[in-house]
Amino acid sequence: MGFPIRIVNCLLLIVTAILEIIGLVFLILLLSSHCVLGGEYGISVWLYIYFLPGITIQSLVLAIFRLCCNTVGLDPIALAFNFASGIVCLITALVLLVAMIDHCGNEFAYMFYVSGACGLVAGLLHLLNACLCNIYMPNSEWRYLKPSKYSRSNAEQESFM
């Protein structure tokens, strides 16, 4: 029996979606803090709130489809989504965490750290999932990754016959 990569892929996707939801909840709670309302932390929070909801919704939809259909998850779309989402999550979470270095230390500080840490771990899990998709993608799916190369190789094979 082979390595259960589809189970690992599904678990990674579910854990990533849960971490993104937790990060989003803490980020929404932060919007009413006096640090954000007073403009002390603006760009880092707004950059994160701009990208995280879209990535979270896409992760949830992909997780639901992954639970319902066995063929979803190890394809070029999942590879591109996980790679792009991982990079965006890492950058925005790091911006939020770097902005927190000089935080004033009030009662909202832990929310910044929890939200940023969840986004950072979710970004790393997205990249790990993208690597798994890249390694274990079925051969039949590879032709969709570079359709021009596939059609060119088919044309060359037909010319030799």
Contact in structure between 61 and 128 (CB atoms under 8 Å) = no
* pLDDT score of 17 more than 90: yes
3-state secondary structure of 130: helix
- More confident call, 89 vs 8: 89
SS3 of 29-68: HHCCCHHHHCCCCCHHHHHHHHHHHHHHHHHHHHHHHHHH
Q: 1 falls in which pLDDT band (50, 70, 90)?
A: very low
Query: Quick one: how far is CA 133 from the chain centroid?
Result: 13
Q: 23 falls in which pLDDT band (50, 70, 90)?
A: very high
* pLDDT score of 104 more than 90: no
Average pLDDT over residues 76-103: 88
Q: What is the pLDDT of residue 89?
A: 94
